[in-house]
Amino acid sequence: MSHGPIDERLRSLALSTRGFMPEAEGDALHAAALEAAPHADGPFVEIGSYCGRSTVWLGAAARTTGRTLFAVDHHFGSEENQPGWEWHEPDLVDPRTGRMDTLPRLRATLVDAGLTDVVVTVVGDSPTVARAWSTPIAFLFIDGGHGVEPARRDYEMWTPLVAPGGTLAIHDVFPDPADGGRPPYEEIYLPALASGSFEDVSVTGSLRVLRRR
């Protein structure tokens, strides 16, 4: 089932929002979420929202399909966002605390997108939220911390919650080490396939989409 591409206004807003999701992968993420809805009940969950770039694509799909998107992030930035690392953005540091704080940017993005009624902002550490989560998930998008341990924890704690027939999407999957960091590939994508519970559906750039059997 397809409901067509994302509204052009929302695509433009997503592309103007801080983040690391290329347009083609954002469009593929939106399409995958639309496609997931007929196959499984439950909400959509995003692990790692940053300033809301990918959240707009997923929130638009949630609205179209009548689902709720839970956007999970502690908003202090992942390891690669910290000072001295490649993806650090100094203007996202709260001068009062000296820590990254992307929550105000996410809230502004959702207000501008008109998605506050379908996106629930969950502010917390991914494993902490996962331990309290029991609702089967129709669409799970993992784009959280890209270190070995954060990626492993996201796999171990969140993927069992994907409903039968549900969809698992993983960002920044790089089989070739020359293209990028390895943890999303080695700690999430490969274990998902090896588990026998998931099968490949599509590949768009570094975005991998799998379905739970």
Strand partners, 99: 94
| Alpha carbons 115 and 106: distance in angstroms, whole number | 11
Q: Look up residue 92 and give its amino acid.
A: L
Catalytic residue among 30, 74, 75, 146: 146
Residue 30 annotated among the catalytic residues of the structure: no
Catalytic annotation, residues? 146
